[in-house]
Amino acid sequence: MDNASAVSRRSRATRQGGLVRDALAADDKFRSAQVVFGQLRSKGEAIGLSTVYRHLQALADSGDADTLQNAEGEALYRLCGSGEHHHHHLVCRQCGRTQEIEGRGVERWASEMAEEYGFTDVNHTIELVGLCNNCSG
Amino acid sequence: MDNASAVSRRSRATRQGGLVRDALAADDKFRSAQVVFGQLRSKGEAIGLSTVYRHLQALADSGDADTLQNAEGEALYRLCGSGEHHHHHLVCRQCGRTQEIEGRGVERWASEMAEEYGFTDVNHTIELVGLCNNCSG
DNA sequence: GGCTATACTGGTAACGATTATCAGCAAGCC
DNA sequence: GGCTTGCTGATAATCGTTACCAGTATAGCC
């Protein structure tokens, strides 16, 4: 109803920006820029590919969207409720359903490993990909 | 001395295959296909880009090489001593130095998460990227 | 050592995702 | 209504990777 909720403070509120955000908001699945573009176009929306990429990146930069890369190296996006809060994902490789998961233990393990081998400023990428209970039949 | 150690059983032993393997064997860092190609060419070796890609993939497929993707989605390769044995990496984002690490705990955590949310056949990608003690100065 | 079948090679074109360009358009402000 | 300037989007350009396919070299056989 009101995707104007988080309107401009430093940037303009545009129709296209709303379209991209709405497309992601439709469900909690990860999708690629190309898919978002295709969905919007097939709904008859007038929007350019460049614009879709721009808004997706903006969302990712601002922390409003999560990002991950599929096996082909394609970037996938999803709206992220938890803001800055650090978390990981359990993604269904079939239907794309996504479960946010937490890993205190993993965070700890990563720090321990970093320390053990003298590494600093360590980032970790951790994604779990499998089949959800709907798709594993 | 003898990169002919693991010779053909179903495939031919070619000069180019040896070159690619040797390039990886030079050290334990991850490198991209483009880099391997560049290194070989600048050493004056005659080899084609396609061939480099082919051999790197073959090595990865046979389990003789580890693979990971950098932030730009480029594929990186490294010879892998541990064969089939499952492990992860702690990679220096500056010099590329790589430390193989084990994560019994992480494996367990991944299984637990999978089970908790009803996911099956779950793969995980876990990479830690930071600065090694040489580069963090 | 020479011969042959065929796997391997590599230059080049094609591909797919992403980014850069830049003239035209429109949101926000007076 | 008019202006400024950020936003848009068609198109070209990038970049890593893969497909093609005619030419070449290897393994095996004589």
Cβ of B50 near strand D (under 7 Å)? The reply is: yes
- Distance D11 C1' – A54 CA (angstroms): 16
Nearest-CA neighbor of B128 among A30, A116, A85? Answer: A116
Average pLDDT, chain B: 87
Beta carbons of B130 and B93 less than 8 angstroms apart: yes
State the nucleotide closest to A34 in CA–C1' terms. C17
- Distance D18 C1' – A4 CA (angstroms): 44
- Distance D12 C1' – A131 CA (angstroms): 40
Residue of A128, A131, A135 best to disrupt the B interface, most CBs of B under 10 A: A128
Torsion of the alpha carbons at B123, A112, B83 and A130, rounded to the nearest 10: 0
Contacts of A73 (CB under 8 A, 6+ apart): B69, B73, B74, B75
Contacts of A51 (CB under 8 A, 6+ apart): A16, A20
Q: Which residue of B has its CA nearest to A136?
A: B120
Query: Which pTM was predicted?
Result: 0.84
Q: DSSP assignment, residue A73?
A: S
Please answer yes or no on whether B119 and A90 come within 8 Å at the CB atom. Answer: yes
Please answer yes or no on whether B90 and A117 come within 8 Å at the CB atom. Answer: yes
Rounded to whole angstroms, the Cα distance separating A71 from A65 reads 19
Distance to chain B for A9, nearest Cα, Å: 30
State the nucleotide closest to B49 in CA–C1' terms. C10
Q: Which residue of A has its CA nearest to B107?
A: A106
Buried b (16+ CB within 10 A) or exposed e, A31-47: bbbebbbeebeeeeeeb
B127, containing H or E segment: strand B120-131
Which carries the bigger pLDDT value, residue B122 or residue B5? B122
Question: Smallest Cβ distance to B121: which of A90, A110, A131?
Answer: A131
pLDDT of B3 over the 80 cut? no
pLDDT digits (tens, 9 = 90+) for B11-54: 899 999 999 999 999 988 999 999 999 999 999 999 999 999 99
- Distance C4 C1' – B12 CA (angstroms): 16
Rounded to whole angstroms, the Cα distance separating B119 from A134 reads 9
Six token digits for residue A131: 């089949």
Q: DSSP assignment, residue B85?
A: -
Please answer yes or no on whether A132 and B119 come within 8 Å at the CB atom. Answer: yes
Please answer yes or no on whether A101 and B124 come within 8 Å at the CB atom. Answer: no
Rounded to whole angstroms, the Cα distance separating A81 from A93 reads 21
The tens-digit pLDDT sequence of chain A (137 residues) is 443 333 434 678 999 999 999 999 998 899 999 999 999 999 999 999 999 999 999 999 998 999 998 888 899 999 986 556 788 899 998 888 888 888 788 889 999 999 999 999 998 888 899 999 998 87
* Region of residue A31 (left: phi > 0; alpha: psi -120 to 50; beta: else): beta
pLDDT of B2 over the 80 cut? no
Six token digits for residue A47: 């929007």
